[in-house]
Amino acid sequence: MYDEKGRQYLDCINNVAHVGHCHPDIVKAAHEQNQLLNTNSRYLHDNLVDYAERLSKTLPEKLCTFYFLNSGSEANDLALRMARQYTKHKDVIVLDHAYHGHLTSLIDISPYKFRNLEGQKEWVHVAPVPDTYRGIYREDHEDSVTAYANEVRSIIEQAHTRGRKIAAFFAESLPSVGGQIIPPAGYFQKVAEHVHKAGGIFIADEIQVGFGRAGKHFWAFQLQGEDFIPDIVTMGKPIGNGHPIACVAATKEVAEAFAATGVEYFNTFGGNPVSCAVGLAVLDVIEKEHLQAHATEVGNFLMELLNQQKIKHPIIGDVRGIGLFIGVDLIKDQAERTPATAEAEYLITRLKEEYILLSTDGPGRNVLKFKPPMCFSMEDAKFVVDTIDKILTDMEKQCLSQQETSSCFT
Ligand SMILES: Cc1ncc(COP(=O)(O)O)c(C=O)c1O
């Protein structure tokens, strides 16, 4: 990125500029379609059908119906509506600290937001994040998958005793706002089993983590195993490389129940020819530039470098990630794993002074969050980690000279 004075920044956080800021192929696709025709979705256009067909090739066959929208929030709101229409139930189970969008309906299912507002609605149920580093069941638990899934089962049972009925389990495939969490494989299958038994459906929010970021798989839910298929997948952010487009992919059963109301789905701008041309170009670039393989290669290298820093700097408690979705959990002490919030804030401020953009997340705002554009290179990885090393070394010296290690940066 370049600022208004032409200074160059290394962007480690923009998962919207997925294939790179101002990628010429994306700019060209939008420009050419804009010159030719842009209409609202009352008018049929091949781009919409072509795009839906291309997207369907990235997904399991079961997810075969597509709805196009303009933002991630719109996609999640539609998913919620569809879940309620299909199940005839109202309640939603979400993971703690989750964020699913800015609409009223989504603030209600976003603990990250509603905890600071009016609080939890009676139809919302919050499950613990399947975080094996600082969650309720950790790496030393004999079966964290079953233990976390059983928490969801208990929530369902408790809801039933109050006469409530579950419409959906709504979760990011890799909880990002929750602190760059990698749910243990098999967790979603077990949760889906409990939720389906209760008559609900599974909605995977891939708005931050989809489109090959996980490297090995195009969709992050696929990390759970081939036997897992959500009932609905929502997409946004990277889908248009910055152009406002979003999508809901649903199974035939869910889509048919939604259509059966007779109330048409209409969205003026959703799926317009320009947006679809952009969406197609993004898929082309991911393929042409082998960005999935690249995410694996660079992501592995970045994890390796960060793990070397973990040995050197005790403030690094955990390095976790997959592909170009990586979190570095900063702690004040090994025993309690107390979030090093002030230190994390100080570190990202110093990085910005070195022209590197990095952010923090997680309930303790102590997790360094790597989710760079997918063209992020080996050199970029080396540069950011070398700079982190330099700053952490400075911080350690500063603390030592102040003789009060734990409160140096508060
Ligand atoms: C996981 C997740 N879901 C949904 C949204 C909402 O997307 P949008 O801001 O495009 O409405 C966001 C945005 O940050 C998000 O991170």
Query: What pLDDT score does 403 carry?
Result: 61
What is the mean predicted confidence (pLDDT) over 121-127? 97
What architecture does CATH give domain 24-288? 3-Layer(aba) Sandwich (3.40)
> 72 CA distance to ligand 1 centroid (A)?
5
Residue nearest to atom 2 of ligand 1 (CA): 100
What is the mean predicted confidence (pLDDT) over 121-134? 97
State the chain's mean pLDDT as an integer. Answer: 96
> 248 CA distance to ligand 1 centroid (A)?
13
Q: What superfamily would CATH give domain 10-19+290-402? A: Aspartate Aminotransferase, domain 1 (3.90.1150.10)
Whether 320 is in the pocket of ligand 1, judged by its Cβ within 6 Å, is no
- DSSP annotation string for 291-303: HHHHHHHHHHHHH
Whether 78 is in the pocket of ligand 1, judged by its Cβ within 6 Å, is no
Position 402 pLDDT exceeds 80: no
CB 57 within 8 A of CB 120: no
CB 207 within 8 A of CB 246: yes
Segments of 238-353 assigned E as strands: 246-251, 316-322, 325-330
Q: Residues of CATH 3.90.1150.10 domain(s) within the chain?
A: 10-19+290-402
β-strands 359-361, 367-370 pairing? antiparallel
Substitution candidate for ligand 1 out of 96, 181, 208, 234 with most atoms within 8 A of CB: 208
Contacts of 164 (CB under 8 A, 6+ apart): 90, 91, 122, 123
Segments of 111-152 assigned E as strands: 124-127
Whether 72 is in the pocket of ligand 1, judged by its Cβ within 6 Å, is yes
> 407 CA distance to ligand 1 centroid (A)?
34
pLDDT tens for 154-195 read 999 999 999 999 999 999 999 999 999 999 999 999 999 999
Q: Please report which confidence band the pLDDT of residue 117 belongs to, taking 50, 70 and 90 as the band edges.
A: confident
Q: Please report which confidence band the pLDDT of residue 407 belongs to, taking 50, 70 and 90 as the band edges.
A: low
Q: How far apart are CA 322 and CA 307, in angstroms?
A: 14
Q: Which atom of ligand 1 is nearest to the CA of 244?
A: 10
DSSP 64: E
pLDDT tens for 320-355 read 999 999 999 999 999 999 999 999 999 999 999 999
Residue nearest to atom 3 of ligand 1 (CA): 100
Whether 207 is in the pocket of ligand 1, judged by its Cβ within 6 Å, is yes
Helix, strand, or coil (residue 244): coil
Position 32 pLDDT exceeds 80: yes
Position 409 pLDDT exceeds 70: no
Query: What pLDDT score does 406 carry?
Result: 53
What is the mean predicted confidence (pLDDT) over 350-376? 97
Substitution candidate for ligand 1 out of 18, 237, 239 with most atoms within 8 A of CB: 237
Burial group, residue 397, by CB count within 10 angstroms (0-12, 13-18, 19+)? exposed
Q: Please report which confidence band the pLDDT of residue 311 belongs to, taking 50, 70 and 90 as the band edges.
A: very high
Query: What pLDDT score does 369 carry?
Result: 98
Whether 71 is in the pocket of ligand 1, judged by its Cβ within 6 Å, is yes
Query: What pLDDT score does 194 carry?
Result: 98
To the nearest 10°, report the CA torsion of 386, 332, 147, 223.
-10
Query: What pLDDT score does 399 carry?
Result: 84
Containing 178, the helix (H) or strand (E) segment is none
Q: Residues of CATH 3.40.640.10 domain(s) within the chain?
A: 24-288
Whether 373 is in the pocket of ligand 1, judged by its Cβ within 6 Å, is no
CB 80 within 8 A of CB 311: no
Position 235 pLDDT exceeds 80: yes
Whether 236 is in the pocket of ligand 1, judged by its Cβ within 6 Å, is yes
Query: What pLDDT score does 41 carry?
Result: 85
Q: Please report which confidence band the pLDDT of residue 42 belongs to, taking 50, 70 and 90 as the band edges.
A: confident
pLDDT tens for 89-100 read 999 999 999 999
